[in-house]
Amino acid sequence: MRKGATWAGLALLLAVLAAAPLYVSPYVLGLLVGIAGYVTLATAWAMFSGPTRYVSLATVAFFGIGAYTVAVLSETLPYPLVLLVAALIGLAVALVVGLSTLRLAGVYFVIFTFGLAELVRQLVTWYEINVTGTLGRYIFLPLGPEHIYWQLLALAAFTLSLSWWVSRSRIGLALKVIGDDEVVAAHSGINLTRTKLMLFAASSVIITLVGAIQAPRWTYVEPAIVFNPTLSFLTLIMALLGGATRLWGPALGAIPLFLLFEWLAANFPNHYSILLGLLFILIVFVLPNGVLAFAEKLWGGNAGKVAAATRGTPPS
Amino acid sequence: MLATALITGLVLGGTYALVAMGLTLQYGISRIMNLAYGETVIAASFGAYLLNNAIGINPLLGLALIVPLGFVFGYLVYGLMLRPLVARSRDAASLEINSILATFGLLFVIQGVMLVAFGTNFTSYSYMNFGVNVLGANIAANRLLAFVLAVAIGGGLYLLLTRTRWGTALRAVAVSPSSAALVGIDADRAARFAFALGSALAAAGGVIVSMYQTFTATSGVIFTMKALIVVIMGGVGNLLGALSAGLILGLVETFVATYLDPGLTLAATYLIFLAILLWRPAGLFGRAR
């Protein structure tokens, strides 16, 4: 019974959100587009990085690849095909990066992804200057904010469902074992590289699609705009605030932080990144496992103790 | 052209080696993966620029002012921000993740302060900007001075670490923090000291870089990346490894820029990085752990 009610509630929520363009102002719709984008990004990021603890700083590399593919191909191919091509390019890059770095210790992966965005940006810039001879492109697609919003909402719903499915499947269990102890995982017969690679690829393709879908909002696109490292940073901090190991954690972290960042960017444009950094340090210090885990610990329910036990920390 | 590329590459590599030595101390001894390292370098560059243009203190003298400041900065950052994380972390892996996250935040704070103070413009100043003939190649005097300084500071540090009792204690902590405590070494103090020393080296690198390169408030990430690549190539905590790897990186970059395309240097750096990671994850000169 309770399960049925949860499903009905979720379906109702999705319907109310999908109908939002009919009853909200253009400004609120703009905010909703941003929220839907970041909820998807943070959930997709946490799907891989949460259980495995492989912190990826490459979010913007894939996001930018998606956005740039749309900028390059939007006039030559029909829109659905452009999205497909973007997803395929994202998949190819994810497989190359994953195959070469996921075998290694976690810290090398972090370092590599840290520079990946810069590498992709420089390669795209180099290609544009030397091969096509132009830097910066225009995107003219007949898509209003409500179309972008619906696409992002669908993608967010899909990402959350995928994340839910993964957490209940064998592969999700395998990921948790890998996150706790890779040696144990290998001895239990888990194919480490394949498991990590599958999740990394899925997460990266979703991130690429978010970039592709959001691209038409810019109209004008150049590498410095779409490969802005702040995006990787925001995604990470949102997922951490909410709790990267929970299904709803990243989404719950994304909504308040997105609104806060919008407010900060509007009111303190010059001190924006200082405030971001301080907030980030604060979150790392005060809420290392995210708000959800903190709340559960505070109210002491069974859920908190079980969750703490599965993470390997003794319940206090 | 070959001789010029060779000498320019070595000179550039000297600076990379110096910058990377600081990071290898921080990561090897203090076990802190500091993503804000490049920001420390750039902050020192801006410091040298300010001293040179506003008060008229040349960068050589500026070094004597900025390097101790870098030391104090590192000491404070470790004591205030990183020490609690070290105390909280259960094992090396979780300390690694925690320190990466905390210093990632620090990166944005330092970068934000520099953006407010100096804006986004490319900055440079002119110091000893005349050509010197070295073995038939024409090199700017400031680059040559940078190389001499890098060798002197790096060499001095190496002697300090290998020839003194105090340096031996630091290296003992790098090998095993828990066993170092057994023979009466204060591992916590050593870690704090190594971190501060690393920041001082970053500051020295920043002043030296500013003598011959333009820099912006946002170029710290590149320095962090290059230093990390050098550290991993040379093997974590290995000073001589960092020296050789830094020189190799400088040479490769200069050759790619001279014979292929200046826009591809970072891509070349990355290829080397990947090749090293896949071929010898413990570094060119490191032993498997």
Domains and CATH numbers, chain B: 2-279 (1.10.3470)
**A151 CB-near residues (< 8 Å, 6+ apart):** A213
pLDDT per residue as tens digits for the range A139-174: 877 778 888 889 899 999 999 999 889 888 888 888
Which pLDDT belongs to residue B33? 84
What is the residue range of A45's domain? 24-229
Q: Is residue A244 part of a domain?
A: no
Q: Is residue A66 part of a domain?
A: yes
Residues B254, B8 contacting (CB under 8 angstroms): yes
Which positions in chain B touch A124 (Cβ < 8 Å)? none
B140, containing H or E segment: strand B137-140
Report which of B39, B218, B46, B40 is spatially closest to residue B115, judged by C-alpha positions.
B218
- For residue A224, the tally of other CB atoms under 10 A from its CB is 11
- Look at residue B137 and give its three-state secondary structure: strand
Rounded Cα gap, residues A37 and A149, in angstroms: 8
Radius of gyration of chain B (CA): 18
Which pLDDT belongs to residue A238? 85
pLDDT per residue as tens digits for the range A4-20: 888 888 888 888 888 87
Least CB–CB distance from A277: residue in B109, B264, B270? B109
ipTM of the complex: 0.77
pLDDT per residue as tens digits for the range A82-133: 889 999 999 999 998 888 777 766 677 877 787 788 788 888 888 888 777 7
**Total domains present in chain A:** 1
pTM for the predicted model, two decimal places: 0.80
- Look at residue A300 and give its three-state secondary structure: coil
Residues of A near B (Cβ–Cβ under 8 Å) read 53, 55, 57, 100-101, 103-108, 110-112, 114-115, 118-119, 122-123, 125-126, 129-130, 229, 233, 236, 240, 270-281, 284-285, 288, 313
Rounded Cα gap, residues A36 and A14, in angstroms: 12
* CB within 8 Å: B263 and A126: yes
pLDDT above 70: percentage of residues in chain B:
95
Residue owning tokens 């970059």? B253
Which pLDDT belongs to residue B202? 93
Residues A50, A199 contacting (CB under 8 angstroms): no
Interchain CB contacts (distance < 8 Å): A and B: 117
| CA-based nearest distance A287→chain B, Å | 12
DSSP letter at A315 equals: P
Q: Is residue A199 part of a domain?
A: yes
Which positions in chain A touch B89 (Cβ < 8 Å)? none
Q: Is residue A282 part of a domain?
A: no
Task: Tell me how far CA of residue A313 lies from CA of A307, A309, A310, B60, B86, in angstroms.
Answer: 9, 6, 8, 52, 17
* CB within 8 Å: A130 and B102: no
Q: Is residue A36 part of a domain?
A: yes
Q: Is residue A55 part of a domain?
A: yes
| CA-based nearest distance B264→chain A, Å | 7
Mutate to test the interface with B, among A57, A93, A107 (most CBs of B within 10 A): A107
Residues in chain A: 316
Token pair belonging to B159: 């002697």
Which positions in chain A touch B98 (Cβ < 8 Å)? 284, 288
Which positions in chain B touch A107 (Cβ < 8 Å)? 33, 96, 100
* CB within 8 Å: A281 and B274: no
Which pLDDT belongs to residue A297? 66
Instruction: Among A46-55, A98-107, B149-158, B192-201, name the one with the lowest average pLDDT.
Output: A98-107
Least CB–CB distance from A119: residue in B90, B107, B270? B270
